Amino acid sequence: MNEHEDRGIETRSVLAGEFERHRPYLRSVAYRMLGSLSEAEDALQECWLRLDRRPPAGDDIRPWLTTVVGRICLDMLRARRSRREEYAGSWLPEPEVAAPGTPEDQAVLADAVGLAMLVVLETLTPSERLAFVLHDVFAVPFDEIAPIVDRSPDAARQLASRARRRIQDARAKPDADFEVQQRVVDAFLAAARSGDFEALLSLLDPEVVLRTDGGGRGPLARSPVVGATEVVTVLRSRARTFAPLGRPAIVNGSPGVIVGKPGAVVAVVGFTVAGGRIQEIDIVGDPAKLRGVEATQAT
């Protein structure tokens, strides 16, 4: 092996180390952009390939990586928008799940983005979503965001502003106290197990929203259900079957429930608790979105 090849291997090793150092940050950006852990990993893989083929000049590659992963996510969002138009029922993001009290639990809590927040982000245009995520979540300056969305810095600022207004209008603000949320979710699971539907009703906000994602097909491919009485009616028909299989979990940084035995998960349930009541229930039953949960929960 000659000296030139040695330098090439050394350079590639340094690049790989730098990429791994920034991987958690890039993964956070991609997950907020895509709402899918598996797609986020695909975006990171493509980002690494581009870095490996044509590395940037300079020592600080984080701005370059941010630009590249942002453009990759934009392309992925635009490509799937037409497919989403044919999706039957509710669409929910791929959940990030950990068992309480584990190192993974701490990681999910430290980098949490709620299912409800991801649902709202999905209503934005790809450019609005990128501008909001990069600026409001990761403090990327608009001067750096502008070339990613092919706009001026002022136009990028307007994209983020529009996104911010829509998110503020649509999003319920969860209770900050994790223990308060946990008590409400525990009470919900206990009432569902016992079939105490009056207790269930008392835990729900009058305008509670129930979303169920079965992958765009089958019995779970249904539109959102709104209203406490309506939601309890839906739960009444299936709670006694599935509630005994429910066990506590951390779902996107908040108390939630995994339904199914380890290695045989049939659903993940996320909750938005605000004002001491459940305002949103998100049930992910799409098998494609539960594969990662299956892997981590298998014993």
**Boundaries of every domain in the chain:** 3-88+115-170, 178-297
| pLDDT recorded at residue 298 | 47
* Domain formed by 3-88+115-170, architecture: Up-down Bundle (1.20)
Measure CA 128 to chain center.
17
| pLDDT recorded at residue 277 | 94
Structure tokens at 95: 């959940």
| pLDDT recorded at residue 85 | 59
Measure CA 70 to chain center.
16
Same fold, 3-88+115-170 and 178-297: no
Sequence-distant contacts of 100-106: CB under 8 A, at least 24 apart: 100/248, 100/249, 100/250, 104/296, 105/250
What is the rounded distance in angstroms from the CA atom of residue 130 to the CA atom of residue 127? 5
Query: What SS3 string covers the chain?
Result: CCHHHHHHHHHHHHHHHHHHHHHHHHHHHHHHHHCCHHHHHHHHHHHHHHHHHCCCCCCCCHHHHHHHHHHHHHHHHHHHHHHHCCCCCCCCCCCCEECCCCHHHHHHHHCCCCHHHHHHHCCCCHHHHHHHHHHHHCCCCHHHHHHHHCCCHHHHHHHHHHHHHHHHHHCCCCCCCHHHHHHHHHHHHHHHHHCCHHHHHHHEEEEEEEEEECCCCCCCCCCCEECHHHHHHHHHCCHHHHHHHEEEEEECCEEEEEEEECCEEEEEEEEEEECCEEEEEEEECCHHHCHHHHHHHCC
178-297 carries CATH number 2.60.120.10: no
Q: Which residues of the chain fall below pLDDT 50?
A: 1-7, 298-299
Q: pLDDT digits over 245-256, tens only? A: 899 999 998 999
Strand partners, 86: none
